Structure 1
């Protein structure tokens, strides 16, 4: 039986489903409701009450930041935890969100463990007591509460013998690294394989535990196909992804998606290159406009 209520706000239904699934599996005492943008979320929050808000930043009609600003002006929501889940991790945006009263900041793509720890951190004993009342176990190898004591007391547990890398909060995480010189030298090889005589477009494809330096092979309004060297850490099918594309003039498009296909470039077992297709899930008109501009420029460069 649900005891707490959470509102999940994101213009991409794929992301909303990921968040709701994680909450449902890890915290069965939390009932989730979702909204495609801040305006709809505002309406739901006015008509009902929520104990937690998990929200994207960039959305049509009303952004996550605008929803946060409105929320902190409402007496019943002044102290309700608000987790911003977004691909915007640059310092200025983080500082702006902190000033407006954000409780935590989680970068996309996120892992279920990363999201669970943020929820535990912001809800604290309210969540623990709800789990107790719901008769749920607070321990177990796959239980999200196995580190709850450390999180609630701000103490660190001894590191595991072979710890897996954990995605850092964007509050502490630097920008995704630019393609290295090695990646740059690889682009010439990519160019000769692709037959594209225009300037190659580099892209960073971010996953929950890695960033893939790659070259754009093809792109349209629904998906992008990139080529990356095999010696990097690759994702799995259906893993979340954020594709960072340089639009020029200092602007960066951050497009949310998921891995649709992984394929060897050559029909050889020892091929050096892998093709990765990422399907986009954003429904924000501004992002689609940015993508359209890049597609047009990409096509013109390949003539």
Structure 2
């Protein structure tokens, strides 16, 4: 029987399902409710009391940061753990979230173990006692429990060890961009001017690749075979250079993996990522990139 209540907030149903499944499997004493954006979450939190909030940053109507700011102004939620789960992992955003009272920060894509460790860390003794009363064992590293609510007791600044968001490696340094590789990967010679780079992040690796095709539903990238590849349905965050110093971070999952050609020793693999974001701003950015990509590849 569930003893604690958690609210899962994300505009992508695929991500909400992943979070809820992990919580259900690892912590059966936690009952989960979900919301598709901050506004809906605010409404639920006004009617029901929650012991934990796991929330995305970028969402339509009300962002995760705005929800956090509202939450910390409510007496009943001032000390309730809030875990920000987002693809925005750069130092400035981490600092901003910490200043607003975030309990922990988890980057997308995340692993079940990574999410579990964060939950143990922020819930501390309360979760352990609930699991003990239910006769269940608390999974996860012992040190995660000992560090319970560490961010709330530490100095309000981002740790220097936090990794920044992945960035596509420079054009000149990427082996995919030499003429021979471009021809092998795409079936026809291409110039550097039409090549669009993308870093595809997974829970424990990053795939450097070239965008072969893209639309509002999915992106197909070509990557060298000597890298670490994901599995089908693995979470992914696609970082695309939009130009003018802007980076689009699109959430999705691996839909297809296949060799670029029929040779068993092919050097390149095609990876198709299906997008799951429903944020209008992200879709607008994606639309602009798709239009520019198609215009440059006519």
TM-score, normalised to structure 2, is 0.91
Consecutive unaligned residues of structure 1, counting only runs of 5 or more, are: 139-143, 156-168
Asked if residue 173 in structure 1 is aligned to residue 163 in structure 2, the reply is yes
Please list, as runs of the form range in 1=range in 2, the aligned pairs for 1:80-119 lying within 5 A after superposition.
80-119=80-119
Distance 1:171 1:48, change over 3 A: farther
TM-superposed CA distance for 1:137, in Å, is: 2.4
What's the counterpart of residue 43 of structure 1? 43
TM-superposed CA distance for 1:12, in Å, is: 0.1
1:9-30 CA-partner distances (Å, limit 9, x unpaired)? 0000000000000000000000
What's the counterpart of residue 278 of structure 2? 283
Paired residues of 1:94 and 1:170 also in contact (CA < 8 A): no
- SS of 1:293 mapped into structure 2: helix
In 1, distance between residues paired with 2:47 and 2:144? 33
In 2, distance between residues paired with 1:294 and 1:170? 33
In 2, distance between residues paired with 1:217 and 1:23? 36
Please list, as runs of the form range in 1=range in 2, the aligned pairs for 1:260-279 lying within 5 A after superposition.
260-279=255-274
What's the counterpart of residue 221 of structure 2? 226
Distance 1:88 1:293, change over 3 A: same
Q: Which of 206, 211, 221 is 2:206 aligned to?
A: 211
What's the counterpart of residue 156 of structure 2? none
What's the counterpart of residue 31 of structure 1? 31
Please list, as runs of the form range in 1=range in 2, the aligned pairs for 1:1-303 lying within 5 A after superposition.
1-138=1-138, 144-145=139-140, 147=141, 149-154=142-147, 172-179=162-169, 184-187=174-177, 188-193=179-184, 194=186, 195=188, 199-303=194-298
In 2, distance between residues paired with 1:133 and 1:293? 54
In 2, distance between residues paired with 1:28 and 1:46? 24
Q: Segments of 4+ in structure 1 off by > 4 A? A: 180-183
| RMSD between superposed Cα atoms in Å | 1.8
Paired residues of 1:94 and 1:171 also in contact (CA < 8 A): no
1:44-76 CA-partner distances (Å, limit 9, x unpaired)? 000000000000000000000000000000000
In 2, distance between residues paired with 1:213 and 1:266? 19
Paired residues of 2:199 and 2:239 also in contact (CA < 8 A): yes
TM-superposed CA distance for 1:130, in Å, is: 0.5
What is the total number of aligned residue pairs between the two structures? 283
Consecutive unaligned residues of structure 2, counting only runs of 5 or more, are: 149-158
1:159-187 CA-partner distances (Å, limit 9, x unpaired)? xxxxxxxxxx9971133143266862322
1:56-101 CA-partner distances (Å, limit 9, x unpaired)? 0000000000000000000000000000000001111110000000
